[in-house]
Amino acid sequence: MVNLPLFIILPFGVAFFIPMVSRKFKWVPDVLGNITTFILLLLSLMTLNQEHVYHIGGWRAPFGIVLVLDGLSCLLLVIINLISFMSSLFSIEYLEKRYTSKLRYYSLFLLMVGGMNGTVLSGDLFNLFVFMEIASIASYALVGFGCEARELEASFKYLVMGNVGSLFVLYAVALLYGKTGTLNMADVARILKDIPYDNLIAFSFVLIISGFMIKSALVPFHAWLPDAHPSAPAPISAMLSGVVIKALGVYVVIRLIFNLFGFNHIISNILVYMGITSMIIGVCLAILQWDLKRLLAYHSISQMGYVFCGIGLGTTLGILGGIFHLFNHSLFKSLLFLDSGSIEYETETRDLNKMGLLYKKMPITSFSTLVASMSISGIPPFNGFWSKFIIILASIKAGRPIVALWAVIGSILTLSSFTKVCRYSIYGKGEKFDKEKWEKLKEVPDFMSIPLIILSILCIFTGLLLIGLENGIFGPVIDVLKGGVLEYINKVLGD
């Protein structure tokens, strides 16, 4: 059995240890950062298919803070630590060229990872808020890491929007505490189940869900994302798009809806319609972009729409599709952002018009970009196809063919926008293509190409995880969500 607090102790401890020693030893941040994320990845793989409730300080559930490990948090832990290991591996060489302070970078990076690990493990509303703030504040700083005008502006915008979200959450937590007298999520759920539903509960529900939806950047709340994600260094963009919007946004929203407030028909409709709006608006805005990273950022909004659509359907198949798409999106979107990072590293531009013919000079980057593009647009053997297919199938089975129609339209638009990416950057050339610069291009260093290769292989083969459908590897996750409020209460407070 893995000691659950290790997921929090390890990143925080190393994050504060790095600034103490690395003024003397320059190699410390690279080595320690990567070893830590690797150990965290191993630990998270060891938690697979386990359930555990950890009482911090030995205090029993409603009185003390609990860490809850179940199927859903397990999946999120694996995603967070896998992508963070890939990103930190990528950072070794990437940061050498343009950025200076590796000490601060790794310190903030590990704070962000620790905050997210804490968020997905916490079984306590206020603790969840604190961990979310740790991760968010570290990510505000990392977005503005380049310290140039655009990056600072994006970081400030992200900070303002993020803090509005956090304030909503804090206010809602305070209201819920006033209503129920407890902060333990299972205990809040137990009390809310017994008292009559009134306006205060509805108000705090709306506040807390919109607060976390700002973090997950669904369409009415998406304005910060297209600025923040492209401005960060590429490994951080991969973390933000691949993990942060899921761990701080989607995970908490579905955890609160399914395990605390209870899922019903109205909430289902809200989630599905918000999902449809973001998947269509996100992809329409993405097609218009010529900045590669900005285009990818808009796609994050659109793909989060698919996740919400699938989960919002509420059927077993729908939840399976949504969860699987969440997993797949973290793989291919972080791969795409790392690719954009390597392209930027070599060509020093993000404008699609200035690129061209990269497949001759950068074979690994081009190949992995192609794999990820096909995954995200849903071409059959790749993982993105299976999850979108399940979502579409689930919506037809649930008697909502309109949802399926919009999902197909969104998918076609995604395909067209990634055709544009491949056409201008890899196989064709843009209008401002610079031949002299192109002659000097070469493949990125090894440490940058290893994560690209690993993630491409994962993108090709993770479609196999679907074997067994709802009884397969995602079974425990579906059980957590389908079990609803009662099972969560029994798990945390029972025995």
Partner 1 sequence: MKNNEEKGMSLIVKTVTRWLKGFIFLFGAYIVVFGHLSPGGGFPGGVVFAATFILLTLAFGREYALRKIGKILASELDSLGAILFLILASLGIYFTGIFFSNFIEKFHPSGNFKLFSAGIIPLCNISIGMKVGASLFMIFIILSVVRVIFEDGKGKLITTEKKDKK
Beta bridge mates, 54: 67
Question: Which listed range, 1-9, 73-81, 374-382, 402-410, lies at the site for partner 1 (CB under 8 A)?
Answer: 1-9
Question: Which listed range, 123-131, 144-152, 385-393, 450-458, lies at the site for partner 1 (CB under 8 A)?
Answer: 144-152
As a whole number of angstroms, the distance between CA 51 and CA 476 comes to 9
Nearer to partner 1, 12 or 406 (CB): 12
Residue 160 lies near partner 1 (rule: CB under 8 A): no
Residue 130 lies near partner 1 (rule: CB under 8 A): no
Site string for partner 1, 294-333 (x = CB under 8 A): ----------------------------------------
As a whole number of angstroms, the distance between CA 17 and CA 340 comes to 31
Q: Which of 1, 58, 266, 431 binds partner 1 (CB under 8 A)?
A: 58
Minimum distance of partner 1 from residue 33's CB (angstroms): 15
Minimum distance of partner 1 from residue 112's CB (angstroms): 15
Task: Count Cα neighbours of 444 within 13 Å in the Cβ-side half-sphere.
Answer: 33
Q: Which of 31, 148, 206, 490 binds partner 1 (CB under 8 A)?
A: 148
Amino acid in position 237: S
As a whole number of angstroms, the distance between CA 419 and CA 440 comes to 26
As a whole number of angstroms, the distance between CA 344 and CA 351 comes to 9
Q: At what angle do helices 102-121 and 71-98 cross, to 10 degrees?
A: 170
As a whole number of angstroms, the distance between CA 262 and CA 260 comes to 6
Nearer to partner 1, 56 or 405 (CB): 56
Amino acid in position 355: M
In the region spanning residues 3 to 22, those forming contacts with partner 1, defined by CB under 8 A, are 3-5, 9, 12-13, 16-17, 19-20
Nearer to partner 1, 16 or 197 (CB): 16
Residue 399 lies near partner 1 (rule: CB under 8 A): no
Minimum distance of partner 1 from residue 180's CB (angstroms): 24
74 sits in which H/E element = helix 71-98
Q: Which of 57, 198, 436, 495 binds partner 1 (CB under 8 A)?
A: 57
Nearer to partner 1, 29 or 451 (CB): 29
Residue 348 lies near partner 1 (rule: CB under 8 A): no
- Give 259's DSSP letter: I
Do the Cβ atoms of 381 and 370 come closer than 8 Å? no
Beta bridge mates, 124: 184
Residue 469 lies near partner 1 (rule: CB under 8 A): no
Do the Cβ atoms of 377 and 418 come closer than 8 Å? yes
Q: Among candidates 248, 231, 267, which has minimal Cα distance to 344?
A: 231
As a whole number of angstroms, the distance between CA 254 and CA 243 comes to 15
Nearer to partner 1, 56 or 441 (CB): 56
Minimum distance of partner 1 from residue 331's CB (angstroms): 32
The owner of tokens 């053997």 is: 381
Site string for partner 1, 230-269 (x = CB under 8 A): ----------------------------------------
Residue 126 lies near partner 1 (rule: CB under 8 A): no
Beta bridge mates, 351: 291
Do the Cβ atoms of 217 and 304 come closer than 8 Å? yes
Residue 147 lies near partner 1 (rule: CB under 8 A): yes
Q: Among candidates 380, 366, 367, which has minimal Cα distance to 457?
A: 367
Minimum distance of partner 1 from residue 145's CB (angstroms): 12
152, with CB counted inside 10 A (0-12, 13-18, 19+), is middle
Nearer to partner 1, 32 or 209 (CB): 32
Nearer to partner 1, 111 or 335 (CB): 111
Residue ranges binding partner 1 (CB under 8 A) = 3-5, 9, 12-13, 16-17, 19-20, 23, 54-58, 147-149, 152-153
